[in-house]
Structure 1
């Protein structure tokens, strides 16, 4: 493995560790929220605070799901690095510019191809 790839791998693994910690913290927060609402006698449907509790649960679950997808994207980026395809556009097979990868390490497409798929 080249020193460039080693540096990229180290950065991806650092980002993965941060993302995994974030997912774990969100999972914990969500469990605590469910436990707090379970031990309460609040009826989401009839309690004035019920809609707020339900919204908070849904919002936290959505944030956790997005964080989990980011973690999966980082895992996939590490696999692409190991396979030698990291930094290669999945659509046109051209190199993804280093600036794009620095800004978005999990990028699958170059800017031109990403813009076309929008």
Structure 2
């Protein structure tokens, strides 16, 4: 695999931005875990009749929503960790599909980008 075309300063900038994003995401994961615990406790309460509560979402729908968001945050953390590992091994900023440099504008917009814009478009086109 080709090494990155990013400068050391750019790599340091992206590494710090990724660590910052990981910290924020980790905080959100902890908050969601607390919400899951609260919903789990409410669901196990035999007196909760959430299916007939006109005041808001049911516990089941809230559980599903939180689990879904939690999964998205787990995926985000995994992508951040892969990107940080790629900084260490020298491949960050290089497309994992074709080996060309990923544009700095794309990396700035999507810190965890693993594909150059052309490969991302090609992959997305196949999904449709």
TM-score in terms of structure 2 length: 0.82
Which residue does 2:33 correspond to in 1?
Answer: 27
Which residue does 1:110 correspond to in 2?
Answer: 116
- Structure 2 counterparts to residues 22-101 of structure 1, below 5 A: 22-42=28-48, 47-49=51-53, 52-101=58-107
Q: Deviations over 1:37-71 (max 9, x none)?
A: 21242367xx434x822111011100011011101
Higher RCO (C-alpha 8 Å, min separation 6): 2
Unmatched 5+ stretches in structure 2: 1-6
Q: Deviations over 1:77-107 (max 9, x none)?
A: 0000100000100111000001111110001
TM-score in terms of structure 1 length: 0.89
Distance in 1 (CA, whole Å) between partners of 2:97 and 2:12 is: 25
RMSD: 1.8
- Give the total of aligned pairs: 115
Unmatched 5+ stretches in structure 1: none
